[in-house]
Amino acid sequence: MINTTLPANIGSAARAMLTMGLTDLVVVAPKHPIDDESVSHAAGAQSVLNNCRIVDNLEQATADCQLVFAASSRQRHIPRPVVTPDQAAKLVLARPTHDTKVAILFGREDRGLTNDELALADYHIQIDANPDYPVLNVASAVQVIASFFYSRFLQHSQQPQGLTNTNEINNTDDSNQAIYNQALDNDLNSDLDNDLNSENLLMPVMLRQIWDSPAISHEQKLKLQLRIIELMYQLQLLEDTQTDKLRDLPSRLSRLLSRLQLDQKEYELLNAIIAKIMLKL
C-alpha cells in the first residue's frame, strides 16, 4: 500500500488480507502511522498489523520480488500487459518455485498509482467493474483481488497430485513441463481471444517456465535498466536535450526487461557484456 492517507484503510486491508490467507503487508511512506483506528478496523487481524513493514519508497518494498503486479483501473501512457485478478492468480501458480516472492501494489485513496509506480510492475491487474464508475476503496480492492488468489490456491491445493502440482513439476521432464505450460497458457488467454482480434489489442500474457536458474529480483532489474541507460549515454545514443525520449526510456526498458523475464545467468551475461563495452569506450 502506497502513501495511504487514512490509517483505517490500512486496518481494513489487513482484515481483508487475513480473511483470504495473506499476511505479508508492506506500507510505503504512509501519510499517517498505524494507530488505534487501524487496529479497530483490522478487527481480528491485528497480527497482520503487528508484522507490517513500513518502508520509505517502493523500490525498497519490491527489491527482493521476482514478480510484481499493480492494481490499476485504467491504462497508462506506456501500458503493461493487463490481467484480471483470476489470471494474476494463475500466473502466480505458474511460478517455477514456491519461494518466488510476489508483490501486488495498491495506490493512494484519491488517485491510485502514479505512472512511474505503474512502470515498476510486470503486469497490471484490472478488476471488472461498471465502466461508468470503476472506482473501489483501496481496502475493497485488496479484498476483491485477494479473494481470487485464495480461490485459485484453494482449488490448486485440492487437485489430485499430478502435472498440475507445482512441487512435482520441478521433477518432471521438459516434455511434461511444456505440456503444463501450454495448458496454462491456453487457460490464461482463452478469454482474451475476442480482445486480441479487436481494435483493443491487449499485450500477450507471458508465462515464466521452469528454467535452470532463478529469476532476477526487482532490484536487479532496476540496476540493469540503469546500466543500459548509462551505456546508451556512453555510446552517444542519448543526449540530455532529448527530453521526450529520456522521459519514456526508463518505462520502456522496464517493460522490455519484464517481458524478457531474465534469470540470474542471463543477468550476469548481460552485465558482463555491458562492462566489456564500457571498458572499450
Q: Work out the mean pLDDT of the chain and round it to a whole number.
A: 83
How much is the pTM? 0.79
Q: Is the pLDDT of residue 45 over 60?
A: yes
Lowest mean pLDDT among 126-130, 155-159, 221-225: 155-159
Average pLDDT of the residues in 174-198: 51
Instruction: Please give the average per-residue pLDDT across 118-126, as a whole number.
Output: 92
pLDDT, tens only, 69-84: 999 876 666 778 889 9
Question: Residue 170: which pLDDT band, with cuts at 50, 70 and 90?
Answer: very low
Q: What is the pLDDT of residue 195?
A: 43
Q: Which domains does the chain have, with CATH numbers?
A: 7-196 (3.40.1280.10), 218-280 (no CATH)
How far apart (Å, rounded) are the C-alpha atoms in residues 47 and 35?
14
pLDDT at position 75, please? 62
Average pLDDT rounded to a whole number, residues 44-56: 96
Phi, psi (deg, nearest 5) at residue 25: -105, 130
Q: Read out DSSP for 80-130?
A: --EE-HHHHHHHHHTSSSTT--EEEE--BTTTB--HHHHTT-SEEE-----
Task: Note the helical H segments in 20-84.
Answer: 36-42, 46-50, 58-62
Average pLDDT value for residue range 237-262 = 84
Residue carrying C-alpha cell 493487463: 82
